[in-house]
Amino acid sequence: MKTKFLTILSASMLLYSCGEKKEQKIEETILEEPTQKTEEKTEEVVSTDGKEVSLTIEANDQMKFNKSEFKVKEGQKVTLTLKNVGKMDKTSMGHNWVLLKEGTDVADFANKSMSAQDKDYIGDESKVIAHTKMTGGGETVSVTFDAPKKGSYDFICSFPGHYAQMKGKLIVE
Ligand code: ZN
């Protein structure tokens, strides 16, 4: 009888502690920076005639883009806006957005770009469909290009050491 009572007691204590843990977790989520909540979101904003599309991506001091995938349609005129929401200088935490041709070896392109400081860290222009200029914290830049043929295209930030974390896909449908 005594054992049974103890079992019930410990079970309810366990329940109680679980409930407490859950509450703490909710609090932590609320405390997170609002910019992190939009992470990994896919964006598709199409104008009324469907011929043009505007995309926005943010880059921050934590060496992160807030999106990892975009979907556009073949032949659309795409305007990509890069907002560098960081505070750091572009010599230490620069960000750009570089869309690479299909089949490009991303690591190879990034490695060649590392030493191309005089060319805004674009090592091999022949592998690039479109790119913005390099930005520092607080800067916003745009680039407009025609969506290439259907396929999956890599985009990266080509600042030295950033591409492993700052990358994603532009899907053309
Ligand atoms: Zn970067």
* Distance (Å) from CA 2 to ligand 1 centroid: 64
* Distance (Å) from CA 19 to ligand 1 centroid: 40
* Distance (Å) from CA 7 to ligand 1 centroid: 55
CA nearest to 135, candidates 74, 90, 91: 90
Neighbour tally for 131: CB within 10 Å = 24
Q: Please give all residues whose CB falls under 5 A of ion ligand 1, grouped by chain where several chains appear.
A: 95, 157, 159, 162, 166
64 CB-near residues (< 8 Å, 6+ apart): 39, 165, 166
* Distance (Å) from CA 93 to ligand 1 centroid: 6
pLDDT number for residue 48? 54
* Distance (Å) from CA 141 to ligand 1 centroid: 14
The DSSP bridge pattern shows strands 77-84 and 140-146 to be antiparallel
Question: Are 82 and 141 in contact, with CB atoms under 8 Å apart?
Answer: yes
* Distance (Å) from CA 152 to ligand 1 centroid: 21
* Distance (Å) from CA 29 to ligand 1 centroid: 26
Query: Which H helix or E strand runs over 90?
Result: helix 90-93
Question: pLDDT of the chain along its 173 residues, tens only?
Answer: 444 444 444 444 444 444 444 444 444 444 444 444 444 455 555 555 789 999 999 999 999 999 999 999 999 999 999 999 999 999 999 999 999 999 999 999 999 999 999 999 999 999 999 999 999 999 999 999 999 999 999 999 999 999 999 999 999 99
* Distance (Å) from CA 158 to ligand 1 centroid: 6
pLDDT number for residue 50? 83
Query: Which H helix or E strand runs over 28?
Result: helix 2-31
Distance of CA 91 to the CA centre of its chain: 20
pLDDT number for residue 81? 98
Question: Are 50 and 150 in contact, with CB atoms under 8 Å apart?
Answer: no
* Distance (Å) from CA 59 to ligand 1 centroid: 7
* Distance (Å) from CA 97 to ligand 1 centroid: 8
pLDDT number for residue 47? 56
* Distance (Å) from CA 61 to ligand 1 centroid: 8
